Amino acid sequence: MSIIIKNREEIEKMRIAGRLTSELLDYIKPFVKAGVTTNELDALCQDYTTNVLHAISAPLNYAPNGHKPYPKSICTSVNHQVCHGVPSEKKLKQGDIVNLDVTLIKDGYHGDSSRMFYVGEPSIQAKRLCEITYECMWHGIDAIKPGRHLGDIGHAIQTHAEKNGFSVVREFCGHGIGKTFHEDPQVLHYGKPGTGPKLEPGMVFTIEPMINAGKRDIRQLADGWSIVTKDHSLSAQWEHTILVSDTGYEVLTVSAGTPPKPPFIS
């Protein structure tokens, strides 16, 4: 495993990319409502990315080994879709929950973030799942400090999810990020304390837990990208890009509309 430690100049570029990524999510929020198609959300995001933020959409035509190019600018995962949902002509309806996952490239550096959105008023279970998943992400973030280990992050996420009756998807994880969309290390959302690489200042990676209301098992749809729960239970995900600082961490994907930290984060 070769983890790239970012220098001061690179970190500043990643702060900019992260802020713009978060501003894209701020921008799209008012458009997430009943009757809109996920294709329409994708087109709005692509236009804003290009013409307002003067950035590049990283997912568009992204083609890791073994995959055909991703055809859209953002990922839109609705209800039981876990991640990588491909935008389509299907309209959002009242009560849906949807994850919008966006990644921008600005001056050669990536910012990566996702948020859950409610379409109207979701069910009690759906709202609780989204809230607990948000807390899971923050429990993982709060475990970051130089000298600790990646396993501490996964353990914090898994513990909070499972004590609330939910399950953690294990096939997908957070990742290092910088000039490249996906770098080392892999950041698992489950694990044992004190295991895995030691955290060092200058590391930058995403934390993006996928939490299911039912069992953790998943399957891939025929489009080659969209991942859904096998038991058709609801799934939620939140994501931030994080810098390991000298004393703890810095969240890079923040903007005016970023949801506030949970009360348990000092």
- Which tens digits make up the pLDDT trace of 213-245? 999 999 999 999 999 999 999 999 999 999 999
Is there a contact between 213 and 235 (Cβ–Cβ < 8 Å)? yes
Question: Among all chains, which residue has been given the structure tokens 């995962």?
Answer: 77
Q: Does domain 8-251 have CATH number 3.90.230.10?
A: yes
- Which tens digits make up the pLDDT trace of 87-109? 999 999 999 999 999 999 999 99
- Which tens digits make up the pLDDT trace of 98-147? 999 999 999 999 999 999 999 999 999 999 999 999 999 999 999 999 99
Closest C-alpha among 54, 45, 51 to residue 16: 54
Domain ranges of the chain: 8-251
Question: Chain-wide mean pLDDT for the chain?
Answer: 97
Closest C-alpha among 111, 136, 116 to residue 205: 111
